[in-house]
Amino acid sequence: MGTYLIHDLFNVETDGADWPKGLTAEDKTGLVAIVVEILRESGPLDTYLLHNAVKRVCEREGYKRVPTFKGAALLDWTYGAVVRAARHADCSQRWHLPAT
């Protein structure tokens, strides 16, 4: 199984780096940091659980690290952003961090 583009998986418009359009550089950095923190604390998670954990962290922090998520209503877009952040963080397909 190859790596699919975020656009193909979630049917959202993406930028040249395959991030859902609308995410700022600050959003991307914050999102990757949140994904890494969650996976270090919890271990392997599937996409659904990882997405929910990211949303909870964003809500708890008042969306300080990922401001664009505050108004995001489209689940395909937020799922696409979380999956792209997990790929950027060099997570495996099961969304757990490789051993260090």
List the chain domain ranges.
21-88
Q: Which amino acid is at 68?
A: T
Q: Give the residue among 73, 87, 76, 91 at the shortest CA–CA distance from 28.
A: 87
CA distance 64 to 60: 9
Select the more confidently predicted residue: 2 or 1. Answer: 2
Q: What is the pTM of this model?
A: 0.83
CA distance 11 to 5: 10
Interval 38-51: pLDDT, tens: 988 988 888 889 99
